[in-house]
Amino acid sequence: MRYVSTRGQSAPIGFLDAVLAGLAPDGGLYVPSEWPSFRSSEIAAFAGKSYAEVAAAVVGKFVGDDIPKEDLAQMCEEAYATFAHTAVVPLKQLGPNQFLLELFHGPTLAFKDVAMQLLGRLYDYVLERQSRKMTIICATSGDTGGAAVEAFRGRKNARIVALFPEGRISAVQRRFMTTATDANVACISVLGSFDDCQAIVKQAFQDDQFRHGVDLSGVNSINWARIAAQSVYYFTAAVALGAPAREVAFVVPTGNFGDAYAAFVAKKLGLPIHSITAATNSNDILARAFETGRYTRGAVAATQSPAMDIQVASNFERLYFEAVRRDAVETERAFRAFADTGLLDIPPAAHAWMRELFRGASVSEADTAKTMLSTLNETGEIVDPHTAVGLAAARGVDAKPSVPVVVLSTAHPAKFPEAVEAAIGVPPVTPRATPDLSKKPEKFERLPADGAAVKAFVRTFAATT
Ligand SMILES: *Cc1c(COP(=O)(O)O)cnc(C)c1O
């Protein structure tokens, strides 16, 4: 299995190299050179298998010969044993044809754990064999940082630096990062937005001297192993609801378009997905792109669902590449222009192709809060604000009654206690298995939104740990 860049200027590489590289040297994103797929009978055979077994089969399609099957199976077993629910990602029925896919039973209570627990193990496995120590840098809108710190802390062959936007993430989210005491963890509170954090990380990767100096690697949502790991739960959910004989519609709360793109990947692998609704909060660049054909950057507004306060959805470039029939020259032109102007007009044929599968819906702050309350009143379930965005968007899904609608529940309500209590009047209860971090001391560095300052800090950190 080889991986090519969406911008066509970088040489094709194998799975493990693509995982460690993150962004391609030409600024593009790696995608498989050809899509693997399952036969219908193979998908049917997932019924009754454990989550870890399905994960090994699905992720295995993308790993190719880079890791022996037994080793990958072992890593999947260990990764998903860290989840507090024996189903790993349980499916809960909310209405006659509506389901919630609970992705938040991992150690940091958000869906990022699903991919990150596997990624931490993959890195350890590879770096041990290469006798190499890498510096992982990660910009977080809130949940990725905690999941990455939890997955990488204490690991021998990697150190982790998490950048988060000061004041834009919840205290619970911050503490999942800043209370880690392991020497290989550093946290930076950046005086700026998540897009600033992401821009600093991008810039660090483009600085060859810095990249090689600290042996830089990224685990942001563009990392192919994360995408592959996230495509797994679309299979387990759809098969539980009757796939491959039956189509399923998914509604995905979206920020960086990693999770929703993983649904597309599942479809490419052969899963019969009826539609994918990208549900955004008022930071609605993706909803607008799918609905109008214009991908235009706006200003970032702070919302109750901060993990989606993003106006540049990194993984969108991967979908665009497919939509223009894998024309790397066109993709490079479009995203270079977008970086300069903040504007991309999707060619009509490409937009029409996207619309065959994707819909966009943006949900206001008031509607998000109302949906938390109505969900509690109608079903007894307390949901977090990101999930509420998905539930509100699900009202617009125009599937036949025979098509079940699955809304991804991306975080536990206890991760956003203030927003949840404001909406429903009672505070959500933290699951028993989660340690109380509110009294542990926090450790982080406060830095301006300036690439040079961050690089200087990371250089010193890498030299001393
Ligand atoms: C990261 C995150 C999202 C958005 O996922 P993307 O892959 O960036 O689109 C949604 N909800 C929660 C709780 C998250 O942590």
The one-digit pLDDT tens for each residue of the chain (465 residues) are 999 999 999 999 999 999 998 788 898 999 999 999 999 999 999 999 999 999 999 999 999 999 999 999 999 999 999 999 999 999 999 999 999 999 999 999 999 999 999 999 999 999 999 999 999 999 998 789 999 999 999 999 999 999 999 999 888 889 999 999 999 999 999 999 988 998 999 899 889 999 999 999 988 888 999 999 999 999 999 999 999 999 999 999 999 899 999 999 999 999 999 999 999 999 999 999 999 999 999 888 989 998 898 888 889 999 999 999 999 999 999 999 999 999 999 999 999 999 999 999 999 999 999 999 999 999 999 999 999 999 999 999 988 889 999 999 999 999 999 999 999 999 999 887 778 888 899 999 999 999 999 999 999 999 998
Output the residue whose Cα is nearest ligand 1's atom 11.
410
CA 140, CA 152: separation in Å to the nearest integer? 15
CA dihedral 15, 17, 21, 23 (to 10 degrees): -40
The H or E element containing residue 4 is: strand 2-5
Identify the residue whose C-alpha is closest to ligand 1 atom 1: 307
Q: Is the CB of 386 under 6 A from ligand 1?
A: yes
Binding site membership of 198 for ligand 1 (Cβ less than 6 Å) = no
CA 142 – ligand 1 centroid, Å: 9
DSSP assignment of 15-82 equals HHHHHHH-S-TTS--EEESS-----HHHHHTTTT--HHHHHHHHHHHHHTTSS-HHHHHHHHHHHHHT
Q: Which residues are catalytic?
A: 112
Ligand 1, pocket-test mutation among 172, 281, 410, 412, most atoms within 8 A of CB: 410
213 C-alpha vs ligand 1 centroid, how far in Å? 31
254 CA closest ligand 1 atom index: 9
Domain 87-109+226-424 has CATH 3.40.50.1100: yes
CB count in 10 Å sphere of residue 209: 8
What is the C-alpha to C-alpha distance for residues 64 and 225, in angstroms, rounded to an integer? 12
189 vs 182: CA distance, rounded Å: 18
For ligand 1, whether the C-beta of 27 sits within 6 Å is: no
**Which DSSP helix (H) or strand (E) runs through 5?**
strand 2-5
Question: For a pLDDT cut of 90, what percent of the chain falls above it?
Answer: 87
Per DSSP, which regions of 212-328 are E strands? Answer: 216-218, 248-253, 273-280, 294-296
Residue 263 CB–ligand 1 contact under 6 Å: no
How far does the centroid of ligand 1 lie from the alpha carbon of residue 197, in Å? Answer: 16
